[in-house]
């Protein structure tokens, strides 16, 4: 009798776990409920980016309907800028420059990792274009390596890059 009870207990446990894993798979494909800025704010690698977005006044745009593709430089990427460059951009009198720089990191539409590699000269929200090169084992955008891609948000996608993109003057 104990053997039958154990079998039933294990079977019910296994069935419960299978059901949960099925739910996890089903919910994995649901669209995220948080926007691009909120997704970035939850990632410790994007604190400088989020601070810059808020200082520039672009939060409303990037929290809006979209869809957008954000080429998101990490905090380490911002640290590669010349000393004092970020502090200068964050000054209120340089808000337009900061907006232009950040808009240069945003493409209209939600472009998947696979699709990004197929593009050549997509136009950014800033108005300029970026050059995308698809190498054997990596994709670069204006020389910045895409280190991870396809982070979904309710209004677009984030692709992580290792260098801040500087628009052509």
pLDDT in tens, 116-134: 878 888 999 999 999 999 8
Alpha-carbon separation of residue 53 from 2, 25, 35 (angstroms): 62, 33, 13
Peptide bond preceding 67: is omega within 30 degrees of 0, i.e. cis?
Answer: yes
Distance from C-alpha of 3 to C-alpha of 136, rounded to nearest angstrom = 56
Beta bridge partners of 161: 73, 146
Measured between alpha carbons, how far is 36 from 33 in angstroms, rounded to an integer? 10
pTM: 0.79
Confidence of residue 22 (pLDDT cuts 50, 70, 90): very low
What is the distance between the terminal CA atoms of the chain, rounded to a whole angstrom? 81
């Amino acid at each position: 009798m104990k053997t039958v009870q154990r079998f039933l207990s294990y079977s019910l446990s296994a069935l419960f776990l299978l059901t949960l894993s099925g739910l996890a798979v089903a919910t994995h494909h649901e669209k995220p409920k948080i926007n691009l800025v909120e997704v970035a704010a939850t990632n410790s690698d994007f604190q400088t980016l989020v601070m810059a977005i808020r200082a520039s006044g672009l939060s409303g745009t990037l929290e809006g309907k979209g869809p957008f593709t954000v080429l998101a430089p990490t905090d380490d990427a911002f640290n590669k800028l010349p000393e004092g460059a970020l502090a200068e951009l964050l000054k209120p009198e340089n808000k337009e420059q900061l907006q232009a720089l950040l808009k240069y990191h945003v493409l209209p539409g939600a472009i998947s990792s696979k699709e990004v590699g197929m593009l050549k000269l997509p136009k950014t929200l800033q108005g300029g274009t970026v050059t995308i090169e698809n190498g054997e084992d990596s994709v670069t955008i204006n020389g910045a390596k895409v280190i991870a891609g396809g982070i979904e948000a309710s209004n677009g996608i984030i692709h992580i890059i290792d260098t801040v993109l500087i628009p052509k003057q």
